[in-house]
Structure formats: C-alpha cells, structure tokens
Structure 1
C-alpha cells in the first residue's frame, strides 16, 4: 500500500505523540521522544504541528519527524518498521527532495536511530556522517540520591526565572516566560515536570525539564542548564539528580539524555549523577 506523508493539525499532534510514546522501550536506540515535541511546544501548538511530519500506511503511523531548526529533521520509526525498505526509501526521497516539503535546499541533517535502514539509504546517496553526540542513560529501578540543592517544581509564577536561567545556560537562546507558558499549556506537559534549583542564597542557578513517556518507559531530560555565573559548583549534578528522581516519581523506567560529544562539562555532570555513557551516535548530513 502507498505510504502517505502528512503534516498534522493541532488535533493531529495527539496521534503522533501517542505513536512516539508506544515506540519508547528499554534497549531501544536513542530516538525521537514525545518530550522532544513537548519542548518544541514553547513555540505554540500551531507552530509545533507545522514542524511535525508523519508517514503512514493503511492508516497506521510508521514514522514521525520533527523539523527541529533550519535544515534538521529528527525522526524515528515504529520498531517493526525500522528495516522496512519501502518506508526507508520513501523517507529518503521525501527528505532529499525539497519539493516534498520536509527539508530545504542546501545543507541538511537527519537524526534517526542508528539501526534505521533510512540511514543506509541516505549513505548510498552520498549523505555523510556528522559530528558525534553522546547519549547517556540512568536506571531508575532503585532510589535516587537527594540533590545538594533546593528544588522547586516550576509553575507559571516562576516562568521568568526558568527562562532567565535557560538563556544564561545556552548561548543564543531566546527562551522567554511566554514560551515557557506556551509549553506548559500544551497537552504533552501533563507528563512533564520543570524544576528550578536554588543555591544557599536563594539564587536560581539551574533548571531542567523532564518528560515521561508513560509508566515503565524511558523518560527524557530536555533541556538541562546551569546559569553561567554559577558553574563548576556541582549544580549540574544536583539538578540532574533531581530530574532523575522526578522521572522515577512519574513511573519512568530510566532517564535518557543526549548531548553533543564536545560538551565535556555536560557529559561529566551526567556521569557524576549516575548516568552511563552509551555509544556515540551521528546524524546523516548533506553538504551545502
């Protein structure tokens, strides 16, 4: 049967997110998580829907992609469709041809599970290997140590402080309190917690948002950041421990995070909070 490419409306985001939840499982490769759609929700529901692509056959969603920035699509597939050749070639065609409305002309990158056949098809078409990313995982079957930091669950009244810490932590960030409120108003935030860490003086020094995919499934940290004026004091470890504890309370089986391989400070913070490094992963990219 024909595979159909689609862009959902705001109501159609629900089935795409449900598919992503169903595909999260222990032992699966690092892949697009419903929390990635939830974090993108800071742009508002309409913009989020416009950034999503789905590929379906006979009414069943087989793949979901998120246009996460200029020239980047992050996608994953149903586990039983990871090596489906018809799907892989359709994905590659839609990704490679700007007229199909997925990626623009010029340099482009694709994040997909490392065992997905579409990566091999793109490689056959000349797409190269991009810079490494480091996935990390922490098991949540046991208790999580208490963080050495005062932790608050952020609500709308703390949105401006969360946004300020985020902008300080991530160079070039334009995250605002309005963006936080848009994210928190989205349906995916019902499975999320945003945390704000304060030091002994009461200053907001770190923040993290965690996203559950449902009980017994891996949860995601996206994003975690420490204010630039308060680094190298253990706050990254502390807020990460708080994140892991929050996901455990939400029923997650493990906590996942992925960061650029060059982010040595971030990797060190995750390792110190009990995360284990997994094999590096790479996007596929097409040169400009």
Structure 2
C-alpha cells in the first residue's frame, strides 16, 4: 500500500516532467518487478524466519552485486571483495547470527531471493539512469507504481481477494489520523519516496557496489536509533565497527588502493 501512495504522490513528475515518458514507464516496470520480488520474498520468509535472519540475508546483496560486477568487468577487485566480506560479517554480528548455520529451511530459501532481486535492481537502476539522467523523480514514481502493481497482484491472487480491502479497513478504520494511518504516511514519505528518489539520483554518481555497501549500514542505524529512541541496549560494537570499516574500504580513493600490489581492480560495467 505504501508503494502505491508513494508512487501516486510522485506521479506528477512522471507524467509532467519526464523527458522520455515511454522509457520511464518501461524502466519502472522492469525495476518494479525486481523490487516486488524482493519484498514479496521478504514478507513470505518472515512468516517462518526471524527478522535478524532476514536482515542478514538481505545484506548479502553486497556480495551478489560485487560478484556480478566483477564478472561483467572480467576483473576481481580486492577492495570490493574485502568491503563485501566486512559488511556481511558486520551485519551477521549485529543481528546476532554468529552462532552458526541453522539449515536451508523453506523460509531461508525464500529470503535468499532478497539479495538477488534487490541487488540486481541497483545494477539496472544505474544503467537506466544513465539513459535519462534528468529523470530521477519520474523514474522513482514509475518503479514505485510498478512495485505496488506487482505486489498487489500477488496479494490478490495468492493471499486472497480480500487481503487488500481488509488491510485498507484495518489501517483507516479509525480515520486518517489514527496511529496506523500516520505510520503508513510516515513510511510512504520518509521510508519510500525520499529513499527511492535519493537512490535513483545517487546511482548516477556512485556504483551499485558502493550503494549496496552503504545499505548494509541500515541495521546499524536501526540499532542505534532504537538505542536512543526506545532505550534499547546497544551491544553490537564489533558489528558496527566492521560495517563502518567496510564503508571506509569502499570509498578509499582508487589511486591509493592502486599503490598496493593487491589493490588493483576493474570498474563495474553496464549490466
């Protein structure tokens, strides 16, 4: 529901400000399909797996993006591999998943679609934004509307024809100022509109690999925020350090790394 609200809010940019409306619509449909696959797999997997497991498996997108970019450029970058490893280890420690592997359960396998779907969407967003670099907001609207469409189709035909009306009733039964409605509005504006628009704009300047490493800071920010706002105890200092170190390795100037015998590596190409 939040994707539909967010996409509709940005739709004036799509239909009035697009330099290439057809391209934005087609690009949005493509990326929206990948995103909806990631979110649906997340929702299904969370029915049997923990949020920590879901967060950790989602962080593997940094590995997927790094490997795909390396295959595409036909080179292996040591800094890229190091930052991916540090980021994944950091998220694992932060989520409390350092005690071992529990097995390939159906929920685990479903959640493994997250890094593939989300990771590939970053690669495609970067490529598509190069074609229309001035259309960040129109493109964001198109992909959000498409995500809402594909997710709605899944909810209707898999979860049941009454799932969407029931959700709408549950959220707005007490009016548009109820806690549920305000929470939806907050996630639509700050968690979706702003984040997707910034992502589209940022991927014009940074690589998908760099973006995926940045996104591994999400559980760190959530944990720190919970510590301040909800007074939860924060004890993930090792994980926090690894994640921050991964970000540092990612953004070390290339000429510095090239001075090291293991530091040279190719750039990401178009996917």
Structure with more contact order per residue of length (Cα contacts < 8 Å, sep ≥ 6)? 2
Give TM-score, length-normalised by structure 2: 0.26
> Whose helix fraction is larger, Structure 1's or Structure 2's?
2
> Whose strand fraction is larger, Structure 1's or Structure 2's?
1
Give TM-score, length-normalised by structure 1: 0.24
